[in-house]
Homo-oligomer: A and B are copies of this chain.
């Protein structure tokens, strides 16, 4: 998917919501466990109920890997279902991979070609030759971890490197990589004040923002500092939406939560149209 297609979808749906499919057998409604593939059954119901309210889905790969071969089968069914039924949706493999040259190419092929995801999250620690293999794929997007929303982000990411901080160095240096036009960045919403600084380094890039809601970030603050004229934000919510109810009505309850966020996002987009 091209970035322009993503932007068009955002304007059409008046939403920049990404729904995280962190699907966990311990948390989905109990009555689904008797299904042949409870994970896919759950995902399908969530997707069918929310696809018109969001522009992206982000399966967290760890949750699928934890169930071994069956988990991978559920993941494959989920991405195939999305690509067949809702091809306008932007899909994110939240894999946080990062390895050298030929291994990165393997991962890129697995997620971009075999599973046909539009994008993947990548850790920056190993640098240029761990990232560029992903950037070589046309109309595929690489979402680099910059500033995450967890406590451990302060261990290294915010440490000073000369006059700057490590996460800013990651932003700056990555813009020099070959194919950097295919880069997006993960920036945690728990640190809305940082968005202003980040926009000085990557004024136009899309930012994938976890941590609105459950992790305490504030949608309006993030938009005030992080939004660009082409929106430039994908706001992720996972547990707050998909586990809104553990009963028969789980999909409706998820739809309700997604709808609340979409309405709040429409308000921010209305504000954007007044500014630009």
Q: Using Cβ atoms and an 8 Å threshold, which residues of chain B touch A149?
A: 100
Q: Using Cβ atoms and an 8 Å threshold, which residues of chain B touch A101?
A: 150
A66 to B95, CA, bound (A): 13
Q: Using Cβ atoms and an 8 Å threshold, which residues of chain B touch A99?
A: 60, 62, 96
Contact with B along A43-85 (1 / 0, CB 8 A): 0000000000000000010110111110011001000000000
Q: Kindly provide the distance from the CB of A23 to the nearest chain B CB, expressed in whole angstroms.
A: 11
Q: Kindly provide the distance from the CB of A71 to the nearest chain B CB, expressed in whole angstroms.
A: 8
A126 with B107: CB separation less than 8 A: no
B66 with A106: CB separation less than 8 A: yes
Q: Is A151 an interface residue (CB 8 A)?
A: yes
B166 with A62: CB separation less than 8 A: no
Q: Is A86 an interface residue (CB 8 A)?
A: no
Q: Kindly provide the distance from the CB of A188 to the nearest chain B CB, expressed in whole angstroms.
A: 10
Q: Using Cβ atoms and an 8 Å threshold, which residues of chain B touch A169?
A: 156, 159
Instruction: State which residues 156-170 of A face B: CB under 8 Å.
Output: 156-157, 159-162, 166, 169-170
Q: Which of A128-136, A219-227, A242-250, A258-266 contacts B (4 or more CB under 8 A)?
A: A128-136
Beyond A96-B97, A156-B166, whether A129 also contacts B103 by CB under 8 A is no
B127 with A125: CB separation less than 8 A: no
Q: Using Cβ atoms and an 8 Å threshold, which residues of chain B touch A131?
A: 152
- How many copies of this chain does one complex carry? 2
Which of under 10, 10 to 19, 20 to 34, or 35 or more describes the interface residues of A? 35 or more
Q: Using Cβ atoms and an 8 Å threshold, which residues of chain B touch A98?
A: 96, 98, 123
B66 with A76: CB separation less than 8 A: no
B62 with A68: CB separation less than 8 A: no
B72 with A107: CB separation less than 8 A: no
B69 with A69: CB separation less than 8 A: yes
Q: Kindly provide the distance from the CB of A13 to the nearest chain B CB, expressed in whole angstroms.
A: 28
What would 13 more interface pairs be, CB under 8 Å, given A63-B103, A126-B145, A128-B155? A62-B103, A67-B114, A96-B97, A123-B123, A125-B125, A125-B145, A126-B153, A127-B154, A127-B155, A129-B150, A130-B152, A156-B169, A156-B173
